[in-house]
Structure 1
Amino acid sequence: MSPDGPHAGAVCVDVGSVWTKAVLVQPDGGLAGFAAHLTTPADVLAGVDAAVRAVTAPGGSGSPDLLACSSAGGGLRLAVVGTEKLSSTEAGHRVARSAGSHVVHVHGGPLEAADVRALRGSRPGVVLLIGGPDGDDPRVLLHNAAQLARARVRYPIVLAGNTEARAAALSVLRSTSRTVVACDNVLARAGELAPEPARAAVASVFARHVLGARGPGAAPRFRRMARLMTPDAVGRAATVLAKLVGTGTLVVDIGCAMTDVHLAPVGGRPAVGAHCTIEGDLGLRCAAAGVLLEGQAEGIVDPVEADLLGPIVERMSTETGSVPRGPGGAAEDRRIAALAAVIAVRRHLRSLGDLAVAPNIGLVVFTGGVFRQRDPAGLAALIATLRADSMLAPVLADSRVVVDADFTVAPAGLLAEDGRGEAAEALLMDHLLG
């Protein structure tokens, strides 16, 4: 079938870590329905099928195609094993930033049996194994590599230690069939961190992890169905938006477990896509604690508000499937979303280098389930928070800001990726830009 040739309608499904969302889109890009169901981790297809049934039942005509993306795995849990606790902690947080992961455990020094048990107890999705600067004694790194090789752990390992000992450590780990990604030392020189190579390695692990559903309930059907991770679908939509509005477009997608930011320049080619950063420590439920912690570190949450938000964040982190039951709960959601957006956009722009040379951003889009709360005053306050931020205000002063209240961004990305560019453009024009 040629791009934009005859198509049936489509059910566009986004399988999140907490909620599975389904949108029914007509062949011409018209929005015909929305449904959501709690994601079902034991058998992810149960939640997908329930959402699809709910969104297609009212129409009852035709047999729409099914297009799906997934971020069911949520943020990637990163454990760090190094030679010294302080430097390992700093290295871990720098590597995790914008790579879809967050630090859940740090160990410094030689691993012993109890330390391996503590590592396993933190339930990491990946282990970052580092040593000291190049030229330092590599014995601790080699000891830790041997311990991980013998331990009952099967997590992927990113090896970013001493250059001189890398080959030996790699050989030890692979001797017991561990999955290892080797990269340059994050601490090649004393006092200097170089996180980029390890960050790229962790991001590659995240790309496999985020699709989720790897247990017995995954089934081949889900693996065939959800070939695109949600951030890729959102990034694809960002390039469509940039084409439609003729200016740089910034899309902020706030989920329960992570927040991703995409910047598509004018004329961005789909094959290249938008510049993307994914924050695995910022989210509306599972990662709400990270929002509060980083909000204080960034200086945008003062001690008084931190005390007020503490119990709210604790509840959000434990009651991940909850929905607001009144205006107060909705306002709490929007405040955490606003903080997550500011922090994530700050990080994204820093990743570009000098803010003064950031591409012209004429459009900013907020998307995510929280924005289906149709409270104009509340959403205006959220937008005002972004515009008033001291770091972001100069960059976004002339930007138009819109909210994806109909949940069209990820579906538009799925449509565009499937060769339905005209339907994707019509969906965005009618329900986001109109």
Structure 2
Amino acid sequence: MQAVLLIDFGSTYTKVTIVDLDTEEIVGTARAGTSIETNIMDGLKVALAQIPEPAGGWNFVRKLACSSAAGGLKMIASGLVKELTAEAARRAALGAGARVLQVFSYELTLQDLDKITVSKPDILLIAGGTDGGNKEILLKNAEMLCALPTSLPIVIAGNKAVSAQAADILRKHHDPVVVADNVMPELGVLAVESARLAIRDVFLTHIIKSKGLDKAEEFLERIMMPTPAAVLSAAELLAQGHGSERGMGELMIVDVGGATTDVHSIAKGDPSKPSVMLKGLPEPYAKRTVEGDLGMRYSSEALVEASGRRLFDYLGWTDEQVACQLGLCKENPWRIPQTEEEAKFDRAMGRMAVSLAVERHVGTVEVVYTPFGATYVQHGKDLTPLPVVIGTGGVLLHHPDALEILKGAVFNPEEPTLLKPQKASYYLDKEYILAAMGLLREVAPQVALRMMKKYVVKL
């Protein structure tokens, strides 16, 4: 057996997956509470002990991990124009697997610095100006950031004409300061890959130690990336394939968690009808959005508020019945439904989380009237022709009505301006292995791809 240990240090649970490279099978999975306050290895040892050891013990050929523990990778981004370089910086941070706390545009103010200090981000990403465009904003913001009371890791991804100069200014007060390519080298052109890689490098070399995760690296080879980046990497592999092994084509992954709902789409998202014009900043082929108010437990009250009357109409319940179930969620965020009423509530909450998160992820179309008549304008991705939607996360894995929950992603004729999938097939990550397969891709991509095609099952 060529056993590979794949670990996801989550904010609540440490999840362990052991796979055999020879048979391309899952040997075992387990989870235990993440012990970041003491020693992160404690939770890992508890999880590993749940999987029966072979005779002679484990002899892992690789030991890889990702992490969203200790708050995950928290970032703040800034740029010049809100809809352009600031938005490009935000997308670069999301693509790197970060939780974006705030996005600033134009010149930073003293109030902005106060917000940065209170937020305590792990990394700052500063952009501004196209290459050959505005120079002042990057330099002024670099000077301003030197007034922060503490040193922070900073990635610069702005106008290349002054990036080095901005780095010299920042290095007087901050460490490390890394220069990446401009996230928007030309007006309307998005180029986030260099910034994504720079963020990942800073995460690996500095953030892991600051969060106490380096204790695990004495046992592991290394913590490879933030957990959301591992899921996005798995999604890309599953969509595109590798070598002679074909992928599934364009797809969407909806990850419904206790605190957030993440949506990943691997698709161009160009207009599907010839009469529609595309407007706005280009969307990344591999796009991730995270909704902090759409969680099943920790943000359950916010989810009910965001869904408005839709949740009540779906359930046919009174305000008091919903309030009672919300109270149970707050009392025990780890609870699994024990009664038919609790299961019905979880199904409704899961469906609302999926529906709202996908609505925010997809593009929209609007009618614009011109002197030559009406025309249709698209903002964001058109995902109406998307063939595959994959569900993952606790409520989808444990609920008997996973398909009903996941169908919250489907196009609604009553909301025709939202470009949600119309005729997709639905799949389930039944063994919760997507993050693990994103890790395995780093060392055995074809094995990871074949295993996903085996364990991601059609509903």
- Which TM-score tier does this pair reach, normalised by the shorter chain? 0.5 to 0.7
Matched AA of 1:18: T
CA contact (8 A) 1:21 1:51 kept: yes
Match of 1:124 in 2: 121
Match of 2:408 in 1: 385
Q: Distance in 1 between matches of 2:326 and 2:149?
A: 32
Does 2:7 correspond to 1:13? yes
Give 1:63-142 correspondences, 5 Å limit: 63=58, 65=60, 67-72=63-68, 76-80=73-77, 88=82, 92-93=86-87, 95-97=89-91, 98-99=94-95, 100-104=98-102, 106=104, 111-112=109-110, 116-129=113-126, 138=136, 142=139
Q: Which moved more, 1:65-74 or 1:415-424?
A: 415-424
Match of 1:277 in 2: 287
Does 2:36 correspond to 1:41? yes
Q: Distance in 1 between matches of 2:325 and 2:169?
A: 42
The alpha-carbon distance between structure 1 residues 154 and 285, as it changes in their structure 2 partners (threshold 3 A), is farther
Match of 1:181 in 2: 179
Matched AA of 1:248: G
Q: Normalization by structure 1: what TM-score?
A: 0.68
Q: Distance in 1 between matches of 2:10 and 2:219?
A: 13
The offset of 1:104, in angstroms, is 2.9
CA contact (8 A) 1:285 1:319 kept: no
Provide the secondary structure at the position in 1 that maps to 2:51: helix
- Of 262, 266, 288, 1:263 maps to 266
- Of 351, 354, 361, 1:335 maps to 351
The offset of 1:108, in angstroms, is 6.5
The offset of 1:386, in angstroms, is 1.4
Q: Normalization by structure 2: what TM-score?
A: 0.65
Q: Distance in 2 between matches of 1:30 and 1:164?
A: 51
Matched AA of 1:372: L
Match of 1:403 in 2: 428
Provide the secondary structure at the position in 2 that maps to 1:384: helix
Q: Which has the higher helix share?
A: 1
Provide the secondary structure at the position in 2 that maps to 1:196: coil
Higher relative contact order (CA 8 A, sep 6+): 1
Match of 1:366 in 2: 391
Provide the secondary structure at the position in 2 that maps to 1:407: coil
**Aligned-residue identity in percent:** 18
Give 1:242-257 correspondences, 5 Å limit: 247-254=248-255, 255=257, 256-257=259-260
Q: Give unpaired runs (5+ residues) of structure 1.
A: 1-6, 266-273
Q: Distance in 1 between matches of 2:163 and 2:326?
A: 41
Q: Distance in 2 between matches of 1:332 and 1:104?
A: 30
The offset of 1:226, in angstroms, is 3.0
Per-residue Cα deviation, 1:17-45 (whole angstroms, up to 9, x for no partner): 33222234455234443311222223332
The offset of 1:322, in angstroms, is 3.2
Per-residue Cα deviation, 1:127-177 (whole angstroms, up to 9, x for no partner): 344668988794x76454223235333323344667876554333223445
Provide the secondary structure at the position in 2 that maps to 1:96: helix
CA contact (8 A) 2:254 2:389 kept: no
Per-residue Cα deviation, 1:84-112 (whole angstroms, up to 9, x for no partner): xxx55986455324434423364865644
- Of 149, 152, 157, 1:152 maps to 149
Match of 1:218 in 2: 214
CA contact (8 A) 2:74 2:100 kept: yes
Q: Which has the higher strand share?
A: 2
Matched AA of 1:207: R
The alpha-carbon distance between structure 1 residues 200 and 234, as it changes in their structure 2 partners (threshold 3 A), is closer
Match of 1:271 in 2: none
Q: Distance in 1 between matches of 2:119 and 2:4?
A: 40
Q: How many residues align?
A: 400
